[in-house]
Amino acid sequence: MIRLKSYALGKWIEGAGDIIPLFNPVNGEKITEFFSDGLDIKAILNYARKVGGANLREMTFHQRGRMLKELAQYLMTRKDEFYPPSYQTGATKIDSWVDIEGGISTLFTYASKGRREIPDGKVWVEGNMEMLSKEGTFVGQHICVPLQGVAIHINAFNFPVWGMLEKLAPTLLAGMPAVVKPAPVSSHLAVKITEAIIDSKILPEGALQLILGEPVDLLDHLTNQDVVTFTGSAATGQKLKSHPNIIKNSVRFNLEADSLNASVLAPDITTDMEEFNLFVKEVVNEMTSKAGQKCTAIRRTLVPANLIGDVTEAIKERLVKIKIGDPSDKETRMGSLGGKRYAEMLNEKIELLKNSLEVVYEGNEKFENKNSAFASPVLLKCNDPLNTSEPHEVEAFGPVNTVMPYETIDDAIKIVNLGQGSLVASLYTTNSDAAEKFILECGSYHGRINIINKDCAKESTGHGSPLPHMTHGGPGRAGGGEELGGIRSVLKYMQRVALQGHPTMLTKVSGQYLKGAQYKIDLIHPFRKYFEELEIGETLISPRRTVTETDIVNFAGISGDYFYAHMDDIAARHSMFEKRVAHGYFVLSAAAGLFVHPAKGPVLANYGLENLRFTKPVYIGDTIQAKLTCKRKTYKEKRQPEDIPNGVVEWYVEVVNQEDEIVAVYSILTLVERKEDN
């Protein structure tokens, strides 16, 4: 038997202290062991800050995004190695697929979103420039910079791969190193995935460390530059969050806790509708996947009072068919709990619930191995949910669910909110009015609301599946924190800074042109330059063009746009314009004609147009001129070896009239060829 080691300070460390054995919850056999302590936590944190943080901050956002993509591709080539140890956590093949390949897909998502939604650079320019002075010589701009600390990720036992990677992805993308502490009972799988990550040599030195055991001083050495994320029980999370050093140094602490999530069958659904079967199927799925050990699992099932019998019978029919057993058996539909300790805790909570609730189904399977951690699904019924507190306060973390009747949608909303905050609620309905009412009244109590009917069910990922694009977290009992949510989560590991100064200075600091900054005019047309040759702030001021009636008439004929303000003298005279105006899109087209270079060159294509505003009408006889400024540059990697190397250049465009008044402002994106293929 190989003893597990921590990975810290750039090497694998065995540790010291008490030996913690790790048992297979399926058969009770000992898998491995590891030491409880013996790590120099202060040195580990300093190593992350000084080595890992420095290395990551040397990279741009897009370089870090490409790093995540490369890591995800590498882990996918080794995914089959992670399934056997996953079965040893009690997870079935489907459970393991969600954990392993779902976790890797999160890396892919952040790799993509980071390169598409964050500008390429070392600081993130957030929002628009703020005018703080009359003449525009003193302006403001928000930017975000990586924190110069370390992120401590304390993960739950039930998703050792996904739980690790869904936190690592935004952390590394932000430019912050991480120290991961897995839950003891599934730490062998966390070590396995970490070994693969370290073997890949894709992450820079110090970017990732993994510590096993229960280091008592883990939170003692944190500073205001550090972040703690915790997933698990609310009681443990609250205890850690109130640690004196966390409070003293205002350490960012993100708590995501288990909650009493609800699923509601709306009053408009009847037993003969497809939504009825979808609802029942999902309740059973959430009870049995991961043996109900999910922070997002459905704990409370709300149905119209007249359907309580139909729903309970339909759920029972499905539960009877669920095969419980060895996760490696392809016929198994529900594996074991995470360990004997979790089974004992589950039984205690079930007994508490039984004191006030009716048992509808309790299973009849006999588990011969006394050292295993199997549990039968338990379905309970609460006849008076508005006046019974237990189902809204006691969480049995396993395959346990309570069915509750309600009379009106208002009653259902009250019952759902008795959970005092949860990660997710789902509503099965075809009635948009009911959905709107539910969202308005329940939204503030939930981090996510799933609205399901037959139109979206086929592609729905289900009640209990957090997605990297959407926020995962919730108020109150759910911990009050947020994870994921696309780029939103990257900001958890960055500091927002409000910059104030002259536009020229802020342009140089941020790496993005700001209106009013000094610009450079070159004799060479910017469309004749390769990507590397263009400079931020480089500007072209175009020739002028006078707009004629013929221009307007011709454009109307080409476009088919005969709107009265362009073509009808009398109607235009009585409009807000007082006389005929040129088409806005003619102005846009005419401006392009003024600043483009006709010859073949490094500009490969127009990639898009953003933030277009027509700020002042252009009349017959007005003279327009365009000002084109290089605002931002983004390296773009090749998808195929034969592709032309290129990058995206964003140009800030202002079109002015003869009075130097801005008549149109927008950004255009062009694909520009690179000289170098690297």
| Among candidate residues 471, 481, 491, the one with its CA nearest the CA of residue 126 | 491
Partner residues linked to 76 by β-bridges: none
In sequence order, what are the residues at sequence separation of 6 or more whose Cβ sits closer than 8 angstroms to the Cβ of residue 533?
A: 675
**Distance (Å, rounded) from C-alpha 324 to C-alpha 412?**
33
Q: In 3-state terms, what secondary structure has residue 587? A: helix
How crowded is residue 498: how many other Cβ atoms within 10 Å of its Cβ? Answer: 10
Rounded CA-CA distance 658/622 in Å is 7
Cβ atoms 655, 584 nearer than 8 A: no
Count of helices and strands (H, E) across the chain = 21, 27
Residue 299 to residues 176, 391, 526, 537, Cα–Cα distance (Å): 36, 8, 61, 57
Instruction: Tell me the C-alpha distance between 513 and 535, whole Å.
Output: 10
Q: Which residues contact 432 (CB under 8 A, 6 or more apart)?
A: none
Contact 490, 117 (CB under 8 A): no
Q: Which of 419, 410, 456 is nearest to 298 (CA)?
A: 419
Pairwise CA distance, residues 601 & 534, whole Å:
13
Q: Say if CB 146 and CB 226 are below 8 A apart.
A: no
**Inter-residue contact 175 to 225 (CB < 8 Å):** no
> Residue 495 is encoded by which pair of tokens?
């500091």
H or E stretch covering 543: strand 538-546
Beta-bridge mates of residue 34: 20
**Using an 8 Å Cβ cutoff, are 394 and 300 in contact?**
no
**Separation of alpha carbons 649 and 633, rounded Å:** 5
Rounded Cα–Cα distance for residues 322 and 319 (Å)? 5
What residues act catalytically?
256, 295
Helix axes 93-117, 162-174, angle to 10 degrees: 10
Size (the chain), residues: 678
